[in-house]
Amino acid sequence: MLKSHKTSNQAKPQVIIMISTFDLFKIGIGPSSSHTVGPMKAGNLFIQNLLDKNLLPQVNKIHAVLYGSLGATGRGHGSDIAVMLGLMGEEPHLTDVKLIQHKIATIRTTKKLSLNQQIEIDFNPDTDLILNGSEFLPYHPNALTIEAFADDKLLLSDTFYSIGGGFVKTEQEAKNDEPVIDTVKKPVPYPFDTAEALLSICKTNKLSITEVVKANELANMNEKALNDNLHAIWQVMQDCVIDGCHNEGILPGGLNVKRRAKAIYRQLSGIDSRKVFHDLLGVMDWINLYALAVNEENASGGRVVTAPTNGAAGVIPAVMHYYKDFCQNYSDEKIYEFLLTASAIGIIIKENASISGAEVGCQGEVGSACAMAAAGLTHVLGGTPEQCCNAAEIGIEHHLGMTCDPIAGLVQVPCIERNAMAAVKAINASRLALKGDGFHVVSLDKVIKTMKETGQDMMAKYKETALGGLATNVLDNQKIPVIDVTVNYSQC
């Protein structure tokens, strides 16, 4: 969110805080940015608060409650595991994904938890970490409260809201509707929070969207750091696709979903050339593969990049791999431009609507990712700023009303295939926009406003609670925990 102030010598407000590319693209773990990455960050923040107040040595008991959507689908998303890891001092971008199951198994067996790897306390996950899916706190469907005790004395109690994409707000920040941006701290030269403002900046200064975002990022880091960070994001995306193409088996969680990417990769690798097909739609098979590979890794708790969320993590990498493997002007520099342009669209969506499935449904996750990917691809293929925004608008417009109804609360069905469908749709949106002049009956700002209003009108059971849609119609009802949820989401 933009935050500004005026002085007597200023005709215009000076922007103090603005969402960064690296707020939207964060390296973390699966399966969910809001339900896994956010709760882990919350646990870590709670430990940091204890350290800051010199309270950690006194703690001998921790109690945590996950509310609303976090509570309703917490086990399927690994939210309980994430909180425990956060309390151990683990961070999403640094934790060793190969050791997570061992660490959690040790906690469950020993009934001990090492706070920040310093203070060992008695901890029973079954009684000290409660999933309360029937109660929603005021400011967002994803909420958790953590309390620390010295025997029966309450030392500290904090409530956090995981608002999507790995963003976390404290109770006070949520109450005051404060921005939570860690990456950018200095004023930026080209602040924008709408597509209209962005296009005006581009036109006035004769800049591309990439150049606008790059200038803003360079206000807080040098060019080498910017390129290094963008390279790191791209590298994790590529590694994720490679891992997904070589891993096989059944995804965890009990749905018995079989990983498909490796088998598809073997089939496609038998073709002599990726660029010559008897089937003219053969390229689509590769796009599907890229998306499936990423989201199967995400569903397995692997290393992924929020783009802008984990549930939608496969869309942008799939389109970027399409550009790399099937377009002629690929370069690392162009890939960086892709990410910067895509982030501009994500910033506008985050400012004016939501990227949280628990808040607006899957239109806010996969729909946003589709829009971001469409804009990024349009830019690297030579599109104007107007064509980039038109591509983004098409991407969102044709995801309006999409619900978030994960079966058994797992980020598997329909989430994995949904990423493949959105990646293909993003490429088509780009192609449509590139055939036009950038102007359209529906503007990007208007479709984002519509997405927000649609999310507000959507019933709670279709917003990442696993209480409606496919979540209740595919499996036997007796196998699904039914929670009576009555909540006014217009307050969220």
Please state, in angstroms and rounded to a whole number, the distance separating the CA atoms of residues 255 and 223: 46
pLDDT in tens, 80-99: 999 999 999 999 999 998 89
pLDDT category at 130 given cuts 50, 70, 90 is: very high
User: Whole-model pTM above 0.85?
Assistant: yes
The predicted model gives 291-312 an average pLDDT of: 96
C-alpha distances (whole Å) from 267 to each of 31, 270, 271, 274, 319 are: 27, 6, 8, 12, 20
pLDDT in tens, 389-403: 999 999 999 999 999
Contacts of 259 (CB under 8 A, 6+ apart): 244, 247, 248, 249, 250, 251, 296
- Spell out the domain ranges in the chain: 30-176, 195-466
C-alpha distances (whole Å) from 355 to each of 26, 119, 199 are: 14, 36, 22
Q: What percent of the chain has pLDDT over 90?
A: 80
pLDDT in tens, 151-185: 999 999 999 999 988 889 999 998 888 766 655 56
CATH 3.30.1330.90 fits 30-176, yes or no: yes
Task: Give the chain's mean pLDDT.
Answer: 90
Please state, in angstroms and rounded to a whole number, the distance separating the CA atoms of residues 17 and 58: 36
Q: Is the confidence at residue 278, as pLDDT, over 70?
A: no
The distance in angstroms from the start CA to the end CA of the chain is 16
- Using DSSP, state whether 298 is helix, strand or coil: helix
Q: Is the confidence at residue 479, as pLDDT, over 60?
A: no
The predicted model gives 308-316 an average pLDDT of: 97
Which of the 8 DSSP states describes residue 250?
B
pLDDT in tens, 183-233: 556 889 999 999 999 999 999 999 999 999 999 999 999 999 999 999 999
Angle at 308 between CA 305 and CA 314, to 5 degrees: 60
Helix (H) or strand (E) holding 112: strand 112-115
**pLDDT for position 79:** 93
